[in-house]
């Protein structure tokens, strides 16, 4: 295992707090000095970031850093209090987002809590086509079911297609929701703590499948939120570090993830090591 010291790199700033970032022609998510307040609490503080198509971003930080709030902005589910936010070319607060949200695939704990326990795994996935949770009277074609089964196979759980969602293990539920997030062939994929609550085997299996997905050039731009460097898939390309709603550092993962930035993000001295492209951290 190799210790990682802070690199010396001159790279373009693609994300920051308190400084405008110019959008690129292929921006998927572009935030310009976005602030989110709830009462006297600032959840995001002048965050600017430009995420391009085919990039795979990890958003890393402690509890209360603003990670989930940023993901809600990216999902077009929340408007900023101030600043400008564009998702898939649409400015939040200025256009009808009903045409944008179907282009975003999302897997989160909030979504998981809404899935009926008696719904079959196949229906959990296929119902994403109508943007509903729980089948009712929607009409699906055989092609829809075939795609759902293909995605379940990609996640290694095709054998559970006819099982009830409530009977699955935590890892199987995570993979079901990941398959659902891909059902509509989205242009943006958002994964909120996909490895949370998984045992070691479940985590490693999920990360391996996320690597395969990330390496596929046809896969959408992806944002993955996590608390742990051990949950960063090898194939992900960029990193955004958040603390108390502000950007600590951001850019290409290999340049940004170092002991200094990580220690600042979590407010304690941390040792960062790497092995076979994976990262590991512990207190110094």
Q: Which of 122, 132, 237 is nearest to 179 (CA)?
A: 122
Q: Which of 105, 125, 129, 111 is nearest to 188 (CA)?
A: 105
CA distance linking residue 175 with residue 119, whole number of Å: 15
8 A C-beta contact, residue 55 and residue 187: no
All structural domains of the chain, each given as residue ranges with its CATH number in brackets, are 33-283 (3.40.50.300)
DSSP 112: H
Note if the pTM is more than 0.75: yes
DSSP 132-159: -SS-SS----HHHHHHHHHHHHHTT-GG
Helix (H, G, I), strand (E, B) or coil at 252: strand
R_g over Cα of the chain: 19
103 CB burial (10 A radius; 0-12, 13-18, 19+)? middle
What is the pLDDT tens value at each position of the chain, 284 positions in all?
Answer: 544 444 333 334 455 666 566 667 789 999 999 999 999 999 999 999 999 998 999 999 999 999 999 999 999 999 999 999 999 999 998 888 888 888 999 998 888 889 999 999 999 999 888 777 877 777 888 999 999 999 999 999 999 999 999 999 998 999 999 999 999 999 999 999 999 889 999 999 999 999 999 999 999 999 999 999 999 999 999 999 999 999 999 999 999 999 999 999 999 999 999 999 999 999 98
Give the ranges where the chain is alpha helix by DSSP (H).
67-74, 109-114, 121-126, 142-154, 170-182, 200-215, 253-256, 259-266
């Amino acid at each position: 295992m190799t210790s990682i010291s802070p690199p010396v790199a001159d790279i373009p700033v693609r994300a920051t707090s308190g400084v405008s970032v110019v959008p690129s022609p292929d921006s998927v998510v572009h935030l310009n000095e976005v602030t989110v307040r709830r009462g006297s609490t600032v959840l995001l503080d002048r965050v600017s970031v430009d995420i391009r198509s085919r990039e795979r971003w990890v958003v890393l930080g402690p509890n209360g850093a603003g990670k989930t709030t940023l993901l809600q902005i990216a999902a077009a589910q929340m408007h900023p209090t101030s600043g400008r936010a564009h998702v898939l070319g649409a400015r939040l607060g200025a256009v009808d987002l009903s045409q944008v949200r179907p282009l975003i695939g999302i897997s989160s704990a909030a979504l998981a809590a809404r899935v009926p326990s008696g719904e079959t795994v196949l229906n959990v996935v296929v119902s994403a086509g109508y943007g509903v949770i729980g089948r009712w009277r929607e009409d699906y074609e055989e092609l829809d079911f075939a795609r759902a089964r293909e995605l379940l196979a990609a996640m290694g759980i095709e054998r559970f297609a006819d099982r009830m969602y409530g009977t699955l293990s935590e890892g199987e539920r995570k993979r079901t929701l990941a398959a659902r997030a891909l059902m509509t062939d989205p242009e943006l994929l958002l994964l909120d703590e996909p490895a949370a609550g998984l045992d070691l085997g479940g985590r490693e299996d999920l990360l391996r499948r996320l690597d395969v997905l990330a390496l596929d050039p046809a896969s959408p731009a992806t944002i993955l939120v996590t608390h742990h460097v051990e949950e960063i898939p090898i194939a992900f390309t960029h990193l955004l570090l958040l603390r108390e709603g502000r950007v600590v550092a951001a850019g290409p993962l290999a340049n940004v993830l170092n002991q200094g930035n990580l220690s600042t993000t979590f407010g304690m001295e941390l040792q960062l090591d790497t092995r076979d492209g994976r990262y590991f951290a512990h207190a110094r």
